[in-house]
Amino acid sequence: MRYIPKTKTVLALETSCDESAVAVVRLEQGRLRLLANCIASQVEEHAKWGGVVPEIASRRHLEALPFLLEEALTESGQSIEEMDAVAATVTPGLAGALLVGSVTGRTLANFHGLPFLGIHHLEGHLASILLTESPPKSPYLVLLVSGGHTELIRVAGDCQFQRLGRSHDDAAGEAFDKVARLLGLSYPGGPAIEKLAKFGNPKAFSLPKGKVSNPKGGYYPYDFSFSGLKTAMLRQVQLLQSAGGELPLPDLAASFENIVAEVLVERSIRCTLDQSLNSLVIVGGVAANKRLRQMMSDAASLNGLELHLAPQALCTDNAAMIGTAALMRLESKVGSSSFQLGVSPRWPLEQADSLYLPKAPF
């Protein structure tokens, strides 16, 4: 008799920052299907303050989740009793915001007699690439570029992650947000800079690439630093302001966007080649940037590498990626998380396995 793998369906919640999200994801005959993907963005509310206000984020998650849960279940045509598990992001992120999703998820799971899976947010971003038509085959290298992280991660087999590069200060998305504020643009900075940059000259200003020195000599080839670039932008703006006249905002935006993309492309390609890998993946909020996508795509084909770009709608935070990560964990037979599992603002991705131990790590 032929073995037919069982269909598994997961209800997933994401509340780690400023997007409240609920999704229903199914794994059927080895294929992933997104049955519902609902998001309530709080971006406009935080924009008034120029960045995310943690207290407001928690309150808005609390208000949005009941409606999102109802919407996601209706859209998927499923009832909660038909789920195989409930998953929620438990780390890293804003503690109060994470708590809302985690407590809601654990309560639903416990009440309906379902297993609960606490998910590492970065593992979620990594899983977003599996929701494409032809997902990459491991091992592969991932450039994870979001508002909180800029990392190069080698993915091998089932949920095996090895960090090969990281930012020593700001994440790329954070740099976009801070530079946008400097230029008087709205939050979040990435889309605002991208919009203006279309009309600017990417070579108008010469900006630094932020290498990270190795105390033993030379540089860390796969690491990043964006704080020097941020300061260089500030100096440039001050210089232009002291000379009088209007700031050439499109040129400033384009030069900044271009240098960030160049740095990300150079180090990702080098790392992929040095690791003798054939496939490179980009995920996370900044991966939505069209210039970065185009430059990475050109560099990948020049170097004979296969490039996998996360779908634009799944680059920024969503629950579809959390549900996908949960299904991968169910497939790898880790079991489930303890109902005692809390939340943590920080936790290494390499230790994500500990979220499924009988004794919760936090």
Does position 14 interact with ligand KG4 (CB under 6 A)? The reply is: no
Q: What is the largest CA-CA distance in the chain?
A: 80
Asked whether position 284 contacts ligand KG4 by CB under 6 A, the answer is: yes
CB 226 within 8 A of CB 175: yes
CB of 61 to Zn ion, least distance (A): 15
Residue 26 or 291: the one with the smaller Cβ distance to ligand KG4 is 291
**Closest approach of ligand KG4 to the CB of residue 16, in Å:** 7
By CB under 5 A, tell whether 317 contacts Zn ion: yes
Which segments of 183-248 does DSSP mark as H helices, in order? Answer: 189-197, 227-242
Task: Name which of residues 121 to 180 contact ligand KG4 (CB under 6 A).
Answer: 146-148, 173-174, 176-177
The residue to which tokens 């959390």 are assigned? 322
176, 189 Cβ separation under 8 angstroms: yes
Nearer to ligand KG4, 115 or 148 (CB): 148
To the nearest whole angstrom, how small is the minimum distance from the Cβ of residue 52 to ligand KG4?
A: 9
194 binds, among ligand KG4, Zn ion, none (CB under 5 to 8 A by kind): ligand KG4
Which string of x and - marks every residue 263-302 that binds Zn ion (by CB under 5 A)? Answer: ----------------------------------------
Contacts of 26 (CB under 8 A, 6+ apart): 7, 8, 9, 10, 32, 33, 35, 327
Single residue of 136, 191, 202, 323 touching ligand KG4 by CB under 6 A: 191
105, 115, 118, 188: which one binds ligand KG4 (CB under 6 A) = 188
Reported for 74-83, long-range contacts at CB under 8 A and 24+ positions apart, including other chains, are 74/36, 75/24, 75/35, 75/36, 75/38, 76/24, 76/35, 76/36, 77/35, 78/9, 78/24, 78/35, 80/11, 80/108, 80/112, 80/114, 81/112, 82/9, 83/9, 83/10, 83/11, 83/24, 83/112, 83/114
38 binds, among Zn ion, ligand KG4, none (CB under 5 to 8 A by kind): none
Helices (H), 275-355: 290-302, 320-331
Q: Which of 146, 150, 225, 236 binds Zn ion (CB under 5 A)?
A: 146
Distance, CA of 161 to CA of 305 (rounded, Å): 20
- Of the candidate residues 105, 165, 189, 323, the single one contacting ligand KG4 (CB under 6 A): 189
* 316 part of the interface to ligand KG4, by CB under 6 A: yes
Kindly list the residues in this chain that would bind ligand KG4 in the complex (CB under 6 A).
17, 146-148, 173-174, 176-177, 188-191, 194, 284-286, 288-289, 316-317
Kindly list the residues in this chain that would bind Zn ion in the complex (CB under 5 A).
146, 317
